[in-house]
Amino acid sequence: MPPKPKITKEMIINAAFLIVQRDGINKVTARTISEQLNCSTQPVLYYFSTVEDIKKAVYEKADTYHTDYIMNLENDYGNALLTIGMNYIKFALEERNLFCFIFQSNEFSGTNLSDLLNAEELSPLLMVLQQQLELSLDLVKEIFSTLFIFVHGYASLFANNQMFYDEEQLINALTKVFNGAVSTAKGETHE
């Protein structure tokens, strides 16, 4: 029976993830991963033929990490959508390198906002909002996209700049945008 490999594919992905988290995606190379794992580059190149393949695997891990982070509803800001929006902004503050890797690395090339709104991962949230607001799914998607664009703008500002974080101001702003979008959507149903 051959000896069990000391370095696994999962260990390589985890090491690359830590490098992205700490230093950014541009620092991910076979050499930096091998240094993180205290091994030669041979195991890294055995499991992945290119650094781009490693980055794709790390992107999937980072995306899952982000989803788990924003879907944590422990801090309640009044409704699930506002809580997720605040978590999204906090993620950009606390995980700047991961935020930039996930949302500012051209991974969404060839997609549009409609593709994001129809993502399977978003469906449960949209269904809950639809029940809470008693609106059609199309109107709920409009509300979500309005808030998403606003939240993403704030998050991008925080991820790329050393700005002061004022939670109360953000909650107030997000609440106004959310209430305005809901009011507009409900007004459209009565016309």
CA–CA distance, 11 with 8 (Å, rounded to integer) = 5
pLDDT digits 0-9 by tens, 16-33: 999 999 999 999 999 999
pLDDT tens-digit readout, 69-112: 998 888 888 788 889 999 999 999 999 999 999 998 876 666 67
Q: What is the sign of the dihedral through the CA atoms of 27, 22, 103 and 166?
A: negative
In CATH terms, 1-70 corresponds, of 1.10.357.10, 1.10.10.60, 3.20.20.140, 3.40.1160.10, to 1.10.357.10
